Amino acid sequence: MTTDDSQPTEPADLGPGMMRIQDPPQRVSGMRVPSSWKLPGKPADLDEFADDAWRQTGFLCGEELGLIAAGLDLQVRIAATGYSPATRNMTMAAFASLWSRAFLSTSDAVGLIRRGSYQSALPLLRQAIEFIGAQRGLADDMDEWRRFTHEAYARHEATRSTEIGLGSYFSGESIAADPHLRLIYRAASDFGRPNFGPTAVFVANEASHEKYPLIFADQAFHLGWAQLTLSWTLRLNVAQLHLALHLGQHFPASEEARAEAAQHIRVVESLLDRPERCRLEEWQEATGRKRHLIVEFKRRPADASQRLLF
């Protein structure tokens, strides 16, 4: 494999009848990375409930938002190092392409959380985990990327189009191997689908056997949902920074940036370990069935906390 895409080598012989797929034919050009990053700003014309959610999230979850913003800003600075001459190749581009999608999914999810659209943020967080897992999987599956680069962008005469192809790829093993990502991925998947339990909690938070107080399109602030989803966002940020630091041959961050990332991760872990925070735990029944348990769940700081089992 080459380091600059300018002098492709012949594929190495991997054994009888096996040849590594040739390096991609493309060159990386025009890579643009923001010099810094800020979280999405407050949208105009929010209704009174979403506007209040934005205000209360900033007041009660300001520490989380500050750490998320700092982590995303650190990510773009590390990603920018991939455009150095020694690393500017299609292997780096494979990681950066998926990283870019994980990054925007995470940032966009924060904007939804701040306006009280907690359920709408779940698919974005789930999607970000898939992109992070895919980056991890590429370490052993780089031939899948190489194969795509050779087959893509051909002319499809029947439709008179450029055939890009789907390039299907998913690394469930990489997600399953990480205890934090695995837990969040299962919950974000189950809560983001039309399952009745999570749906009831999103639209009728005070429901019981006696009542079902439905609130259509509820965007009122909820401390439990805000803490839980922002915690998941911080976990994703930590996972992506860990991954970036282990990809030093493709993203040669300075020692100062690496030290800053390590310190940032320590601060985030300390915040997430606080016992008073709303959090997700895994409850395993005697039968082996694994269920979602949310603890310290409450709408307002002064409310009594609940434990919800799904």
Measure CA 216 to chain center: 28
pTM over 0.85: yes
Is residue 227 a contact partner of residue 221, using CB atoms and an 8 Å limit?
Answer: no
User: Residue 288 belongs to what H/E stretch?
Assistant: none
Q: What percent of the chain lies above the pLDDT cut of 90?
A: 88
- For 26-48, what is the mean pLDDT? 92
What is the C-alpha to C-alpha distance for residues 274 and 270, in angstroms, rounded to an integer? 7
Instruction: Please give the structure tokens belonging to residue 46.
Output: 């929010």
Q: Pick the more confident residue, 2 or 296.
A: 296
Separation of alpha carbons 187 and 158, rounded Å: 43
**Closest by alpha carbon to 202, among 108, 310, 88?**
310
Name the pairing type of β-strands 306-309 and 290-297: antiparallel
- Average pLDDT rounded to a whole number, residues 133-148: 95
Count of CB atoms situated within 10 Å of the CB of 184: 26
Choose among 198, 230, 199: nearest CA to 308.
Answer: 198
* Adjacent-strand bridge partners of 234: none
Sequence ranges of the domains in the chain? 47-309
- 54 has which bridge partners? none
Residue 198 structure tokens: 């999570």
CA distance linking residue 297 with residue 229, whole number of Å: 12
Which tens digits make up the pLDDT trace of 238-262? 999 999 999 999 999 999 999 999 9
- Interval 18-38 mean pLDDT: 86
What are the DSSP E strand ranges found in 83-235?
A: 154-156, 161-163
d(CA 142, CA 238): 24
pLDDT at 18: 55
For 48, residues 6+ apart whose C-beta sits below 8 A from its C-beta are none
3-state secondary structure of 283: strand
* H or E element at residue 6: none
Looking at residues 144-166, what average pLDDT do you find? Answer: 95
Looking at residue 86, what is its pLDDT?
87
Q: Is the Cβ–Cβ distance between 75 and 37 less than 8 Å?
A: yes
Contact present, 11 and 53 (Cβ < 8 Å): no
Q: Helix count (H) and strand count (E) of the chain?
A: 9, 7
Q: What is the pLDDT of residue 96?
A: 97
